[in-house]
Amino acid sequence: MGAGTVIALIEDDPALSRAMSEYLSVSGFAVVTGASCRDARTLSGSHHVDLFILDRNLPDGDGLSLAGYLRRVSDASIIILSGKGEVNARIEGLNSGADDYLVKPAAPEELLARVNAVVRRSRAGRNQGGTAANVWRVNNLTLDPVNNQLGGAEQTRADLTETETLILSRLIQSQDELVDKNSLSLFALGRPWHPEDRSIDVHLARLRRKFRDVGLNENTIHTVRGKGYRFVSAATG
């Protein structure tokens, strides 16, 4: 997955930056690093960057504002890396134009999985003639995470709640791969999952109804009993 992909890692913690850079490099990515908004702007002009990983808090500015700037001058994908894990913080991250939002400290394996998912989706968007920015497309399905809209057959639309948008975005980011209930709960609800908590199930039931409303196959979101959920890309048509 990493072959030919350039990642710009913007993180002002030297130890964390070094560890992430080494892990991604070993995984086959070319990694350039910086520690400030200024470094990111310089790298965007001097390198062909495929993916920016931005710390939310940088010494000379806000990573979310930086993401907005990069969206205007670059077609690179963006992952926000932050210690803020609240639902509102993640929504702000997605609304800034980022493709994903990862709460730190994150396991290296999760970082790599998120990077691979974003790179895979970006390549798919280019192959289908679409754009990687903001609106995500998988066959007949579109998701606009900025405006919380689901699109389906014949240009039909359904409004999503912010939580539904977060759930669907997380599943699409890992399409065709299992997303366990705890990861989904942490990302969409900001809390760990426990067996008595039915919140994710309720949100998914509503999301599947909206799939039907716009002519999409509700089985696109497949339940793996006792484990989690999988977005089945082939089921979207």
In the chain, domain spans? 6-127, 136-236
How many other CB atoms are there within 10 angstroms of residue 209's CB atom? Answer: 11
Going by their DSSP bridges, the two strands 136-138 and 141-144 should be labelled as antiparallel
Q: Say what the pLDDT of residue 115 is.
A: 84
Q: Which run of H or of E encompasses 181?
A: helix 181-189
Q: What is the pLDDT at residue 40?
A: 86
For 130, list phi and psi in degrees, rounded to 5.
Answer: -90, -175
> What DSSP element (H or E) covers 208?
helix 199-213
Q: Which fold has domain 6-127?
A: Rossmann fold (3.40.50)
Give one word for 76, left, alpha or beta, with left for phi > 0 and alpha for psi -120 to 50: beta
Residue 58's DSSP bridge partners are: 61
Q: Which fold has domain 136-236?
A: Arc Repressor Mutant, subunit A (1.10.10)
Which pLDDT does position 74 carry in this prediction?
A: 76
Q: Do domains 6-127 and 136-236 have the same CATH topology?
A: no
Residue 26 phi/psi, 5° resolution? Answer: -60, -30
- Name the residue among 117, 118, 120, 127 with its Cα closest to residue 97: 118
Averaged pLDDT, groups of 10, the chain, 237 residues long: 72 87 87 87 80 86 81 80 76 75 82 80 51 68 82 85 81 82 77 78 89 89 87 77
Give yes or no for a cis peptide into 59 (omega within 30° of 0).
no
Are the C-beta atoms of residues 222 and 212 closer than 8 Å to each other?
no
What pLDDT score was predicted for residue 122? 64
Max CA pair span of the chain: 51
Q: For the sheet containing 136-138, what is the strand order?
A: 136-138, 141-144, 149-151, 157-159
